[in-house]
Structure 1
């Protein structure tokens, strides 16, 4: 029996489309490629998500690497945060799951600064019973440690918990630890699968 539902944030509850992010920031294809490869897909971004580097550290590094002035890189980071818009269909599912009495948790790879911004902007986050942000924990999905930490901190039984994530590696780790899983995409079939699994209309 499922008692707990665990949501990822990026590309599940909030839009996360790196290509769209850079395309809506600059018309220069050269700059778009550089921002993708030297910022969003760079190992320093993973370090930011993991919490082993802070925003104040990575912005100068990204600026130096791309040749952007630091002020423009700060502007790009503001643009990234503004691009994290709610996915309305998932938000609707979220409230239905909440109404059915499930305990809701989050497990997200994200810097604590980005999470703080989302938390300020979106009141529905307060309805979660709890969760983990990788930037606060120094561990990151798909590493098993972050799933085990979630279980330990909130006393969750994996077999009673449904984990919803868009990343296949994350899903595979969760499944190997005994979680029920749904590999998320924004398709009507996926939303139907969530509703069916949780017996909601």
Structure 2
């Protein structure tokens, strides 16, 4: 029986629009492409997304990938406000689950800077019952330690939890610990899979 629903944040409860954010600066197309490749289109992006690199380390990593667009990277890094949009279903979905008696938690690699610069898109956090944000706890998905920390902190039984994430490797680790998992692709699909587990979360 599922008692706790655990959400990833990026691209599940929010939309992470980095490329649209870069586009908003009006760079020439070639420059925009280079900035994109220096940031989201290279392996260092995954380090940024893990959530506990310092701002200076993130910025240096992007610049090192293409120093020719250092000025533009520094320009967009001054403020990352606007790269995250809360999904319009997030708060009603959380409220529906809680009113049905489920505990709702988050488990995310969201970085501190992204969270700070997008507070208006993170207002759903006041509706959840808690969770783990990697930059606070110094552990990242898919490290099994982050899942064990969550289970221990909230006294959860793995088999009574379901975790929704948009990245399969994160789900594989959770499943290995006995947590039910759902690969999030859309609201409708996720709600249908929750229903199969006995969780009616359609609002």
- TM-score normalised by length of structure 1: 0.82
Deviations 1:40-98 (A, max 9, x none): 2444444344455311333244345343355x434423664412101113443222112
Corresponding position of 1:77: 77
Q: How many residues align?
A: 200
Corresponding position of 1:142: 142
Corresponding position of 1:199: 200
Alignment of 1:1-201 (within 5 A): 1-26=1-26, 28-51=28-51, 53-63=53-63, 65-69=66-70, 72-77=72-77, 80-119=80-119, 121-186=121-186, 188-197=188-197, 198-201=199-202
Is the contact made by 1:119 and 1:125 (CA closer than 8 Å) also made in structure 2?
Answer: no
Is the contact made by 1:48 and 1:135 (CA closer than 8 Å) also made in structure 2?
Answer: no
Deviations 1:12-64 (A, max 9, x none): 00002444444444454433433333222444444344455311333244345
Q: Give SS of 2:85's match.
A: coil
How large is the Cα RMSD of the aligned pairs?
Answer: 2.7
What is the alpha-carbon distance in structure 2 between the residues aligned to residue 14 and residue 200 of structure 1? 18
What is the alpha-carbon distance in structure 2 between the residues aligned to residue 43 and residue 61 of structure 1? 10
More helix by share: 1
The farther-off stretch of 79-88 and 36-45 is 36-45
**Unmatched 5+ stretches in structure 2:** none
What is the alpha-carbon distance in structure 2 between the residues aligned to residue 92 and residue 105 of structure 1? 15
